[in-house]
Amino acid sequence: MNDQTVRLSDVPTEQEPKFRVRALHTASTVTVYQAYDPQIGLAAAREGRFPAAWKRDRMTWIIKPCS
């Protein structure tokens, strides 16, 4: 690779990425945004916990949580 080589990361793009992780962090926590189907999200917001329809093994994680 020489100084003339253009990397894809150097080329500006007008297209939004297909996937994006949205998160906030502090020195001690990471809070990640996760979209849910309204059936699950609304019930979780209302009850303060996930409903029976939510299945932990159906989630796709970039980093699997420790359990």
Domain ranges of the chain: 21-51
Please name which of 59, 3, 5 lies closest in space to residue 36, comparing C-alpha atoms. 59
User: In this predicted structure, what is the pLDDT of residue 2?
Assistant: 47
Whether the full predicted model's pTM is greater than 0.85, yes or no, is no
Residues 6+ away with beta carbon under 8 Å from 17: none
User: Residue 1: pLDDT above 50?
Assistant: no
DSSP letters, 21-64, are: --EEE-SS-EEE-----HHHHHHHHHHSS--TT--GGG---SSP
With cut-offs at 50, 70 and 90, classify the pLDDT of residue 18.
Answer: confident
Provide the 8-state DSSP code for 4: T
